[in-house]
Chains A and B, each alone.
Chain A
Amino acid sequence: MEPIQLFSLASRQAEWLSLRQEVIAGNIANANTPKFMAKDITPFSAIMAAGQFGMARTNPNHLAASDLNTDLDVDVREAPLNGEIGVQVSGNSVALADEMTKMGEIQRQHSLNTNLVSSFNRMMLMTVKG
């Protein structure tokens, strides 16, 4: 039987979404921290394209590629500057409106993800029960 890819794909995306949520929450919390640059993580499409070629951490003492606690090959990097605001006088580059937009994106994608999983699950149950 063909292995079913959808669940593993969905769980990878859900993991990526929650990592992004963590990073965006960090940006918002640091909206008034001097010299803090807004961050973002590798887009999900890049992770899909790269496959699982990140260095495996077989021991918790190994150095991680990023300080996020994950097996996905994600990288935290500085987000592109907001054109209107750029870097503020305090050296901070967080634009709250931008971060709220990103959070909205995360919410939308996450709800699509969970709804897909639950309807796929329903379909499987229907098949099994007959």
Chain B
Amino acid sequence: MDSVTATDPLSSALKIAGSGLDVQSTRLRIVSENIANAQSTGDTPGANPYRRKTVTFGSEVDRASGANIVKVKKLGYDKSNFTESYDPSNPAADTKGYVKMPNVNVLIEMADMREANRTYEANLQSVKQTRDLITTTLDLLKSSQ
């Protein structure tokens, strides 16, 4: 395959910013999964509760255009320990009455959500501006009398 495809930099910029929007929305999805499951315990005695999910990004070359886009590299799990709370009436309580709670810290999730939001907006701004550059260039074709 021809490695040099004729894509102009502005279309590449749009593609790159689009990939940025994509990964940040995946990140927001993971954050909401974590928050929604912040209290999800297991359903049998001593069972493990929900484990916090994490997302890692990586830079990658898009084969079609040769642009350096960003992709979700890995969806992983937070390996930190579960907290235990005493609640003998819970169906997931072990023989001593302790229930394992998910390792989700809502404050961390909130901070993550804010950051994802900021970066999403920055990418959106870059889409808008790239579109503006394309429009001003095309406007040169308008006949100016």
A and B contact pairs by CB, cutoff 8 A, 7 listed: A21-B9, A21-B10, A22-B9, A22-B16, A29-B17, A30-B57, A69-B6
Interface-side segment among A31-39, A46-54, A77-85: A31-39
Smallest distance from the beta carbon of A19 to chain B beta carbons, Å?
A: 5
Residues of chain B having any CB pair with chain A under 8 Å? 2-10, 12-14, 16-17, 19-20, 23-24, 27, 56-59, 61, 66-70, 115-116, 118-119, 122-123, 125-126, 129-130, 132-133, 136-137, 139-140, 144
Q: Determine whether the beta carbon of B13 is less than 8 Å from that of A33.
A: no
Smallest distance from the beta carbon of B56 to chain A beta carbons, Å?
A: 7
Q: Which residues of B contact A114 (CB under 8 A)?
A: 136-137, 139-140
Interface SS of chain B: helix, strand, loop or mixed?
helix
Q: Complex formed: what's the CA distance from A106 to B136 in Å?
A: 13
Q: Complex formed: what's the CA distance from A69 to B5 in Å?
A: 8
Q: Complex formed: what's the CA distance from A118 to B142 in Å?
A: 9
Q: Which residues of B contact A17 (CB under 8 A)?
A: 133
Q: Determine whether the beta carbon of B20 is less than 8 Å from that of A19.
A: no
**Which of A18, A29, A64, A121 is packed against the most chain B CB atoms within 10 Å?**
A29
A87 CB–B CB distance under 8 Å = no
A42 CB–B CB distance under 8 Å = no
Q: Which residues of B contact A96 (CB under 8 A)?
A: 118-119, 122
Q: Determine whether the beta carbon of B70 is less than 8 Å from that of A33.
A: yes
Smallest distance from the beta carbon of A44 to chain B beta carbons, Å?
A: 14
Chain A residues with a Cβ closer than 8 Å to the other chain, count: 38
Q: Determine whether the beta carbon of B140 is less than 8 Å from that of A29.
A: no
Q: Complex formed: what's the CA distance from A64 to B66 in Å?
A: 12
Q: Determine whether the beta carbon of B144 is less than 8 Å from that of A118.
A: yes
Given B13, B27, B59, B119, which contacts A25 in the complex, CB threshold below 8 Å? B13
Q: Determine whether the beta carbon of A29 is less than 8 Å from that of B20.
A: yes
Q: Which residues of A contact B67 (CB under 8 A)?
A: 22, 26
Known interface pairs A28-B123, A32-B115, A111-B136; A21-B13 also in contact (CB < 8 Å): yes
Q: Complex formed: what's the CA distance from A121 to B143 in Å?
A: 10
Q: Determine whether the beta carbon of A25 is less than 8 Å from that of B8.
A: no
Q: Determine whether the beta carbon of A21 is less than 8 Å from that of B7.
A: no
User: Looking across the interface, which residue of chain A has its beta carbon closest to that of B58?
Assistant: A33
Known interface pairs A68-B9, A69-B66, A96-B118; A25-B58 also in contact (CB < 8 Å): no
Q: Complex formed: what's the CA distance from A15 to B133 in Å?
A: 11
Over the window 104-118 of chain A, the binary record of Cβ atoms lying under 8 Å from chain B Cβ atoms (1 yes, 0 no) is 001100110010011
